[in-house]
Structure 1
Amino acid sequence: MNNSHDPIRHLKYLRQSLAQDNESIGFFISAGCPLSVEMPADEWPIIPDVERLTAFVNEQLKANEKYIVLTNELVKAEKNTNNIEDILSFVRSLLLVSKGGKVRGLSESDLLSLERDICAEIVKKLNVDIPTKETSYHRLCKWIRSIDRKIAVELFTTNYDLLMEQTLEALEIPYFDGFVGARRSFFDLRAVEDALIPTHWSRLWKIHGSINWYQEEFEGQKKVYRSSEIKENASHLIYPSHLKYEESRKMPYLALIDQLNRFIRKKSSFLVLSGYSFNDGHLNDTIINALKANPTAMVLGLMFDRYEMESSPDAGDSVERYPEAYRLAKNQHNLNIWTFDKAIIGTNYGDWGGIRGQDDEDDEILEFVHREESATDEGIEYQVRLGDFAVFTSFLQRIIGTPAGGQNVK
């Protein structure tokens, strides 16, 4: 017997959870979210995905002799040369053992230069302005400022672009990202850990660094700081992996990972993941361990597209699109995963369906339940497409003004 999940019931639960003004609510914004920003066809996406970003960096550095050596060594080490995060992590792993000699034909100075060049090319591609028109980021931020909350909204992101900062500032929403000061903003660990910031300020935690974070030596010590401007020929703090090789770079990363852990451990916390594919084992461990320690917490992963995908164009068979997410959700009751056509809720896998009835209050919910003729003999297929960040933020905008009881203010 196949399980099914009533989409109206679960969308109502989501609406009610997001309407709470005295509970901990957070959003985890990851790599898939910038793809939702509408752009002219020749300019989309505003921020490329990992594959497109890697292709750009490889093209820009193809004449760099040291980069050629690096990519050859990546192949020998059976690493992925089409993933810039793997490339950057490989460079940093070599730096660990490069002092006093060469490793894989590259000296410490070669590796430092390569790291700087790679980060500089990433910054070129990611240093963009978000359109001033309505975007998914604008809809999220309008929802954030719609309620005077007793507990601040927390935004976690693995993206190192500035789209979220630009939108928050455009809508004049105060936020705190761990840095204080105006000219050379420095990371204030005490303010992060002791929550010393006003509750009406949202929190923005950039777990993998940012294109406007830098490391410089100041009075004999290496310091991390944030600038309001993007600087050239600087040591950008971009770290898409959890591999760090200097204590001065560890501190923001470890503090922000701990902040994610601390958030999920709060009583009745609710965290929505968008654009995250569960390919970062360290982040997965942080989320799952915190969920195990706090049964009252809930993490909802909104996944783009259908539960399965074709294994290859000619094979004719299907494979799971997000196998690690599914594996974790089937074993952890307070991690729910929603794809367009199926969901894992309370460890139970099933299709969207089994609608038990509706009332007049469900009209706005029904806008987000799609009915499609099934290609099989099963008849109607129901879909919930909140895994598309544009659709999810439209849902947020639709429920602005909804009190904790779940009904709109008329």
Structure 2
Amino acid sequence: MANYHNPVQHLKYLRQSLSQNTEAIGFFMSAGCPLSVSMPEGEWPLIPDVENLTIYINEQLKDNEKYAVLSTELSKAGKNNKNIEDVLSFLRSLLSVSKGGDVRGLSEKDLEGLESCICKEIVEKLDVNLPGQETPYHRLCKWVRSIDRKVAIEIFTTNYDLLMEQALEDLEIPYFDGFVGSRRSFFDLRAVGDNLIPVHWSRLWKIHGSINWYQEEDKHQKKVFRSSEIKKDASHLIYPSHLKYEESRKMPYLALIDQLNQFIRRKSSFLILSGYSFNDGHLNDTIVNALKANPTAMVLGLMYDRYEKKSETGGTIERYPKAYRLAENQHNLNIWTFDKAIIGTNLGRWQRTQNSDSDDPDLLRFVDMQKDEKTDASEDLIKLGDFSVFTNFLKKIIGPGKEETNV
């Protein structure tokens, strides 16, 4: 096993891969990305992570007696009450068997009311705007529009906020998200499956739903629609749970999961993951199975922070063990943390070597050298796992003359 990887060499490969206009390039954005948006003092984060979102919702619903019952039953079942996704999964599992009687002291009406309350609180917290037009999201969008492409850029996200939509529209970048129409946009399965959209339109696939998706009864059928505005009291299509495949909700979810699968299976496809911690088993299976079927594909996971973190006992433990185990067995799934990487199934620390590439100033600016004050030893760090740093890397690829040089 190699004990080091040359950061300049791999940054050069990344730059070359992202400079292609004829290959399938995609981004997978998850919960960590909104944390990279700079905010005024006291206002960060723009959107909290899952744990802090759960704390917020628990506080908002602390006086709700039915929610207290749900929380008690959640603990009895050994579920994680610090993760709102687990709370929703548990609630919906109870709702699926609540017809005709109470379940764990809660009626079907109670459970439906709780689901509506939770989703309403999520919408309230996530219905925010990006501060200005110089955010990491805008930098990604500037890169998207920087050259004419023969293959459309595809952006997959598990986030239900509208930050990506805002950035695309701020920069007037056309995109398709699976919905068509202007009054009450509906999901067009044929357009999604047959790829009937112009190449210059980027694709935005919101795998876990969105705060502006909702469900309505239409001619005695439940259908999914998208609104241009947030509907406060709608039946929101937010589904971070194992019941994503439930009959009335499954069409968008399964179609968009299939888009992810098809993208990775395309020849020489390149997908970059940002802000994703590999805690969704179904998504992990989709990614890895597609990689196994297509050896020419490459998925690069850019992970925030170092390879290990301190444990409660004072030692160290792996920060993203699920990601590491997958990458150790799948040659075309690479994982980069700040201080180490798994590349081609080989774990190694970042360490520069002396060669002709080592003096590339555009790449060296993304290699941080840190010294240990006690031992005077130095280490190289690549911090592209910070979505803000990564989008600065994209901005540097654009180069002068292709985009605004004064931003």
Please indicate the TM-score interval, normalised by the length of the shorter structure. over 0.9
Give the Cα–Cα distance (whole angstroms) in 2 for the partners of residues 279 and 375 of structure 1.
35
Amino acid at match of 2:143: W
**Corresponding residue SS for 1:43:** coil
In 2, Cα distance between the equivalents of 1:51 and 1:158? 16
- Give the deviation of 1:85 after TM superposition: 0.5
Matches for 1:79-90 after TM superposition, within 5 Å:
79-90=79-90
Alpha-carbon distance between aligned partners in 2 of 1:384 and 1:6, rounded to the nearest angstrom: 11
- C-alpha contact (below 8 Å) 1:160/1:210 kept by paired residues: yes
Deviations 1:60-80 (A, max 9, x none): 111111111100100110111
Alignment match, 1:302: 302
Q: Which residue of 1 aligns with 2:392?
A: 394
**d(CA) in 2 for partners of 1:391 and 1:359?**
21
The reply on whether 1:125 has 2:125 as its aligned counterpart is yes
SS of corresponding position for 2:244: coil
Is the 8 Å Cα contact of residues 212 and 226 (structure 2) preserved in structure 1? yes
TM-score, structure 2 normalization: 0.96
Q: Who is 2:330 aligned against?
A: 332
* 1:131-150 aligned within 5 A: 131-150=131-150
Query: What are the Cα deviations for residues 154-201 of structure 1, in whole angstroms up to 9, with x where unaligned?
Result: 000000000000000000000000000001000000000100000000
- Counterpart of 1:49? 49
Q: Unaligned regions of 5+ residues in structure 1, if any? A: 403-410
Query: C-alpha distance in 2, partners of 1:302/1:206?
Result: 20
Question: Who is 2:404 aligned against?
Answer: none
CA distance in 2, matches of 1:78, 1:375: 44
Matches within 5 A, 1:1-20: 3-20=3-20
Partner amino acid, structure 2, of 1:51: E
Partners of 2:94 and 2:358 in 1: how far apart?
A: 62
Q: Which residue of 2 aligns with 1:157?
A: 157
Name the SS of the counterpart of 1:267 in structure 2: coil
**Aligned positions of 1:197-208 closer than 5 A:** 197-208=197-208
Gap change, CA 1:4 and 1:246, over 3 Å in 2: closer
- C-alpha distance in 2, partners of 1:360/1:349? 21
Letter in 2 for 1:337: I
- Cα 1:376–1:326 change in 2 (3 A) is farther
- Where does the alignment leave 5 or more consecutive residues of structure 2 unmatched? 401-407
Contact preservation (8 Å) 1:92, 1:244: no
* Equivalent position of 2:253 in the other structure: 253
Give the Å deviation of 1:10. 0.2
Match of 2:320 among 322, 332, 342: 322
Distance 2:104 2:373 in 1: 53
Shift of 1:40: 1.1
Amino acid at match of 2:348: G
> Does the 8 A contact of 1:96 with 1:245 survive in 2?
no
Structure 1 match to 2:31: 31
Q: Which residue pairs with 1:408 in the alignment?
A: none
Alpha-carbon separation, structure 1, partners of 2:363 and 2:286:
32
Correspondence 1:235 to 2:235: yes
Q: Partner residue of 1:288?
A: 288
**Of residues 344, 347, 350 in structure 2, which corresponds to 1:346?**
344
1:406 aligns with none
Contact 1:305-1:339 at 8 Å conserved across structures: yes
- TM-score normalised by structure 1 residue count: 0.95
Alignment partners' CA distance in 2, 1:34 and 1:135: 10
Query: Secondary structure of the residue that 2:253 maps to in structure 1?
Result: helix
Deviations 1:292-321 (A, max 9, x none): 000000000000000000002xx3310000
**Map of 1:202-217 to 2, 5 A cutoff?**
202-217=202-217
Paired with 2:197 and 2:248, the residues of 1 have a C-alpha distance of: 24
After superposition, the CA RMSD in angstroms is 1.6
Which residue is equivalent to 1:358?
Answer: 356
Deviates more, 1:155-164 or 1:244-253: 244-253
CA distance in structure 2 between the aligned counterparts of 1:140 and 1:2, rounded to whole angstroms: 33
User: Aligned pair in 2 of structure 1 residues 284, 31: CA closer, same or farther (>3 Å)?
Assistant: same
Whether contact under 8 Å (2:352, 2:380) holds in the other structure is no
Counterpart CA distance in 2 for 1:375 and 1:20 is: 42
Equivalent-residue separation in structure 2 for 1:134 and 1:229 (angstroms)? 24
Per the TM alignment, residue 359 of structure 1 is displaced from its structure 2 partner at its CA by 4.7
Alpha-carbon distance between aligned partners in 1 of 2:267 and 2:354, rounded to the nearest angstrom: 31
Does structure 1 retain, via aligned residues, the 8 Å contact 2:358–2:364?
Answer: no
Establish whether residue 73 from structure 1 lines up as the match of residue 73 from structure 2: yes
Identity of aligned residues (%): 73
- Structure 1 residue 247 displacement after superposition: 1.7
One-letter code of the match for 1:308? E
SS in 2 for 1:248: coil
CA distance in 1, matches of 2:354, 2:25: 29
8 Å contact kept, 2:9–2:357: no
Q: CA deviation at 1:2?
A: 5.6
For 2:376 and 2:190, locate their aligned partners in 1 and report how far apart those are by CA, in whole Å: 57
Amino acid at match of 2:368: H
Q: Distance in 2 between matches of 1:376 and 1:261?
A: 48
Distance (whole Å) between structure 1 residues aligned to residue 399 and residue 364 of structure 2: 18
Distance 1:398 1:250 in 2: 40
Kept in 2: contact 1:146–1:401 (CA 8 A): no
Give the C-alpha shift of residue 376 in structure 1: 7.2
